Structure 1
Amino acid sequence: MKMDSPGMEDRTVSKGTSDLLTEQITAIIAETDGQSIYELKPLYDVIDPEALDALFAPHVDGTSRPVGEVSFHYEGYWVTVSSDGVVELETENR
């Protein structure tokens, strides 16, 4: 979903279908840019994918992790991932 807001660059917000945040990120960027996920540089070049997936994964007992978010630069976007599984892309000119 595209969102326009005064003073903000292009922004895409999506709640992916995969349980793994790393898969959501690559799928959303590939779809946004009209390319295959295999054309993207490896996500592990900019962030540890296992750590990112584990950061917001449920605890062993199934309880949710605390609320929070992580942002990083990848493939020309600022990617913000929140604990509720929302992936937000902003063009790098923010």
Structure 2
Amino acid sequence: MNSFEDFKNRTEAPVTEAGIPVKDLEAKIEKYDFIGEKEALKLAMEIEGNAYNLYQRLSRNVSDTNAQVVFIEMMEQEAKHINYLKKMREKVNES
């Protein structure tokens, strides 16, 4: 079995799971002025929200029920990420 690193090195990934071209996201992060944790969390929540919305659209538009199950599971994973980021934001706001 190949490692994830082997897979990553052989596989081109021009777009993030949020539907944002990797080069655009990298450029945004490079120019993004992270003043602190709040700004980083805001960007992370935006990316996770975009990914959730992408999987939601795909789950609604796909005719294959197996694919729909996968997209719904991915939505649930993104929702977990968003909830985790919300908890982190609450901790940052408390400090």
Q: Same fold (TM over 0.5)?
A: no
Q: Relative contact order (C-alpha < 8 Å, sep 6+): which is higher?
A: 1
Q: Hey, which of these two has a bigger chunk of strand by percent?
A: 1
Larger radius of gyration: 2
**TM-score (normalised: structure 1):** 0.30
When the two structures are superposed, what TM-score results if normalisation uses the length of structure 2?
0.30
Structure with the higher helix share, 1 or 2: 2
